[in-house]
Amino acid sequence: MAVNRRVLAASLGVAALISVGGGYLVSQTDESESTESDVVLDTPGVEQIPSIGTNAVVEGEPLAITTLLDNDGNELSTADLIGRPLVINVWNSTCAPCKRELPAFAAVHGELGDRVRFVGVNNLDTPEVNESFARERGVGYELLRDVDDGFASTAGIATLPVTLFVAADGTIMRQTGVLEEDELREYAEELLG
């Protein structure tokens, strides 16, 4: 069977022209037509990507007083945490940055844990996961659970991780997102004056 090259070339050219022209027309039609799924704001707003900036600013505020649970289900008031310099890290096992920073918390706790109290507050995991996940990353400090998000809600925490550096009198001196080990050490040492 012989192929007429001219007919083949012309057919391919016409097909390409139709494809390009049709694609252009479809793209122009989609841009100019409004659909019911369009959103129109009465007041212009700004898109906010979740970050530490999504959380309420609590620096200078007193630590939120609420109830947390230990891994055995015993209640502990956050008021009982006040009295010495305190570092509270709010995390959970599904948070990749939380996972990355836990070894830094373990290291700094090992250095300063006799002068600064470290507490991990987990808002998601079961007691077993809370314990095993943290311990596998070297964490030896106290682990608590915020099962009803009462602490997170009262402290205005919407995204994780969050670390609160709290003075002995209960005043939150600093609030951060993801921390490197050197930053964590510096901020914890600042609590010691």
Q: Between residues 190 and 50, which one has the greater pLDDT?
A: 190
Percent helix, strand and coil across the chain, each rounded to 5? 40, 20, 40
Q: Between residues 94 and 44, which one has the greater pLDDT?
A: 94
Q: Are 143 and 131 in contact (CB under 8 A)?
A: yes
- Mean of per-residue pLDDT scores for the chain: 86
For position 64, what pLDDT does the model report?
A: 93
For position 160, what pLDDT does the model report?
A: 94
**pTM (2 decimals)?**
0.73
| Region of residue 116 (left: phi > 0; alpha: psi -120 to 50; beta: else) | beta
Q: Between residues 96 and 52, which one has the greater pLDDT?
A: 96
Q: Is the pLDDT of residue 80 over 80?
A: yes
pLDDT digits over 145-170, tens only?
Answer: 999 999 999 999 999 999 999 999 99
What are the structural domains, with CATH classification, of the chain? 52-190 (3.40.30.10)
In this structure, of 45-49, 65-69, 129-133, 134-138, the range with the lowest mean pLDDT score is: 45-49
For position 18, what pLDDT does the model report?
A: 78
Please give the average per-residue pLDDT across 115-131, as a whole number. 97
Q: What percent of the chain has pLDDT over 90?
A: 70
For position 54, what pLDDT does the model report?
A: 77
Q: Are 137 and 99 in contact (CB under 8 A)?
A: yes
Please give the average per-residue pLDDT across 80-109, as a whole number. 97
pLDDT digits over 41-73, tens only?
Answer: 667 665 544 556 678 889 999 999 999 999 999
Q: Where residue 31 falls among pLDDT bands split at 50, 70, 90? A: very low
* Cα separation, 160 vs 55, whole angstroms: 9
